[in-house]
Amino acid sequence: MTNDADSFNLLLGTDVPTRDYKAGETIFREGDSGTEFYVVQQGRVRILSGNRVLETLGGNEIFGEMALIDSGPRSATVVAETDVTVAPITEKQYLFLVRHTPYFALKVMRVLANRLRHQNKAV
């Protein structure tokens, strides 16, 4: 886990709009088009390819970041494991965030690189 100084949520600040999902709800499906990525604020999500769980993510983790790279379809499905609160980040918001907290850019890039290097599916 990252320490507090590194927290995506601290970098995000308190003003960002969030979205709530109930346990079991689908956030997006493999094949959906998508232009935003998500920071998990509370609860846990499951990243699925078909029925296989690729990863489980909790607070202060991100998913869907491939949307920043290309606008291809989602390569996995994400389902709320518990009730969750996520902050959706569009490209426009991302650019705003990195202008104000440039370290955000490095953090997202590190997550992306680690996912791609570990050959998890980057969603």
Q: Which residues bind a second copy (CB under 8 A)?
A: 66, 68-70, 91, 94-96, 98-100, 102-103, 105-106, 108-110, 112-114, 116-117, 122
The rounded distance, in Å, linking the Cα atoms of 18 and 48 is 22
Residue among 76 and 84 whose Cβ is closer to a second copy: 76
CB 68 within 8 A of CB 94: yes
Residue among 21 and 94 whose Cβ is closer to a second copy: 94
Report, in Å, the least distance between residue 80 CB and a second copy: 26
Q: Counting Cβ atoms within 10 Å, is residue 76 exposed (0-12), middle (13-18) or buried (19+)? A: buried
Residue among 23 and 109 whose Cβ is closer to a second copy: 109
The first and second tokens of residue 104, run together, are 């955000």
Report, in Å, the least distance between residue 23 CB and a second copy: 32
Q: Compute the 3-state secondary structure of the chain and give helix, strand, coil in percent, each to the nearest 5.
A: 30, 30, 40
Residue among 33 and 103 whose Cβ is closer to a second copy: 103
Report, in Å, the least distance between residue 94 CB and a second copy: 7
Q: What are the Cα distances from residue 93, in Å, to 37, 38, 66, 77, 85?
A: 10, 11, 15, 23, 18
Report, in Å, the least distance between residue 36 CB and a second copy: 14
